[in-house]
Amino acid sequence: MAIASPPRSTQTDDTYVSVAAQTDIGRVRENNEDAFVVADLTGGALLGGASHARFDVGERGVLLAVSDGMGGAHAGEVASALVVETLTRALAKASPGTPRDALMNDAIQRAHLAVWDAARREEKKMGATLTAVFVHAGQAYIAEVGDSRAYLVRAGTITRLTHDQSMVQMLLDSGVIKPEDARESPLRNVILQAMGHQHDVKVALAKLELRQRDCLVLCSDGLTGHLTDDEIRDVVLASGRPERAVGQLVDLANERGGKDNITVVVAGVGGALAEADAAEPVDGTFQVLTTFEPPVSNGGT
């Protein structure tokens, strides 16, 4: 994938993102239907095949995104590729003055329609999850459709920044099942909405005030199906570098069966940011902007 480079700007917000990403087919699936993108939207650079990159956060920001496709007969990989490509182009072309939350929502809706239109054109049923983080001006905007996840590792703790839009999560929220039963539930792969799968999607969106040495982790459920949140935290903290963390997380998921495609993005942030304070609750820097409320009549996907 290539994106058109916007006019080069020397303006930065004195922060940077040090990031690595990897996608792996796993040990069971025949195709890899996951996709990811890491993009410097100011300069037009993509992470591509490099194991690691450092991007200064310019006036257009930096995008991190993971998409897990579904549909069979290669439809899933088409859907996830369309999601990340359309999202990246929409954000790269948007006016830098557009409010960040509106910009994210509009770009995601464009990506959703791209998959929806492709499915109608090809007469196939296809869809994809999307979890995206847009870093700009000392803040991260976190968007979700589906059940891929975003985490924050800060001051030795891990916080899940997304809320799975899945049948199992809905049952957990209502108290029907217990957390220890969720991992083995036969409903664990049933998600309640997906990009391009139904006519409309409701983007869950939140905003995070970044701190020095924050680490953002995005992943598909090929990772979280095998590792707990605390295990993800332990690997990130012990590895010391994003590229090591990514490789170790993928390897560990494969060692435990690799039952699904595995995609991981690990991004450390630094620069002109306030120091993290263990006494400051993450909730004090995190704001939910919009939520996804599943309709009662929705039977899942």
Residue 184 pLDDT: 78
User: Across the 301 residues of the chain, what is the mean pLDDT of every consecutive 10-residue run?
Assistant: 46 83 96 96 87 93 96 84 97 89 96 96 92 97 98 97 94 87 82 93 97 98 96 97 97 97 98 92 96 66 41
CATH number at residue 244: 3.60.40.10
Determine, yes or no, domain membership for 147: yes
Task: State residue 93's pLDDT score.
Answer: 92
**Residue 256, in any domain of the structure:** yes
Residue 145 lies inside a defined structural domain of this protein = yes
CA distance 79 to 69: 6
Rounded to an integer, what distance in angstroms lies between the CA atom of residue 93 and that of residue 106?
A: 12
If we measure between CA atoms, which residue out of 87, 120, 119, 122 comes closest to residue 106? 87
Q: What pLDDT shows up at residue 182?
A: 82
* pLDDT at res. 127: 95
**């109608």: which residue's tokens?**
120
Assigned token pair, 108: 């995601």
The pLDDT value given to residue 112: 98
The verdict on residue 90 lying in a domain is yes
H or E element: which one contains 141? strand 139-145
Asked whether 88 and 63 are in contact (CB, 8 A), the reply is: yes
Domain count along the chain: 1
Asked if residue 259 belongs to a domain, the reply is yes
Structural domain contains residue 171:
no
Amino acid at 72: G
CA-to-CA distance for 49 and 85, rounded, in angstroms? Answer: 16
Quote the tokens at residue 291.
């939520």
Q: Domain for residue 167, yes or no?
A: no
The beta strands (E) that lie in 155-209 are given as 157-160, 204-209
61 contacts 135 by C-beta, under 8 angstroms: yes
Q: Which domain holds residue 250?
A: 12-162+194-290
pTM of the predicted model over 0.95: no
Q: Is 247 helix (H, G, I), strand (E, B) or coil?
A: helix
Is 181 part of a structural domain of the chain? no
Residue 230's closest CA among 131, 151, 132? 151
The reported pLDDT for the residue numbered 227 is: 97
Q: Output the furthest CA–CA distance in the chain (Å, rounded).
A: 54
